[in-house]
Amino acid sequence: MERPDYRRLVKLLEEMNKEGGFFASILSRKDGLLMASAVAPTSNRDIIAAMSGFLTDTAERVREELSLGSLKDISIRCTGGKAVFRKIGSKDEQSLILAALMPRNVRYHNRPLGKAATRIRSLMGYR
């Protein structure tokens, strides 16, 4: 099996940030391990990665307990901006999480996140 070009992940995240108007994005594993990032200098990419794993794990428990079906994304809207976390695939029990931080005035984040998720799944060989 051929190894993915991990350098391409950063380029994909940068493209997503530009298209969506995001100021930070990361790709992490479910356990919070950072795989790639495209963040503003003031953003702590390790904290974003750790929170991605924590939030996704918590949301999965809520989803399961309340029988809500498949998890699409997690959105947190605050007065200072928004954070969207999207589980984008799994392989060998390890899920990937795509997170984007954006100003609160960004209204349409689904398309850039969806495009990036599709490209990342393809690059990484995830289903």
pLDDT at 1 over 60: no
pLDDT at 38 over 60: yes
Mean pLDDT of 100-110: 91
Does pLDDT of 46 surpass 60?
yes
Strand pairing report for 94-102 and 34-39: unpaired
pLDDT > 80? residue 23: yes
The answer to whether the CB of 101 falls within 8 A of the CB of 22 is: yes
Domain 23-124 of CATH type 3.30.450.30: yes
- Is the pLDDT score of 97 beyond 60? yes
Smallest Cα–Cα separation from 101: which of 23, 48, 33?
23
pTM of the full structure: 0.89
For the cut 90, the answer to whether the pLDDT of residue 7 exceeds it is no
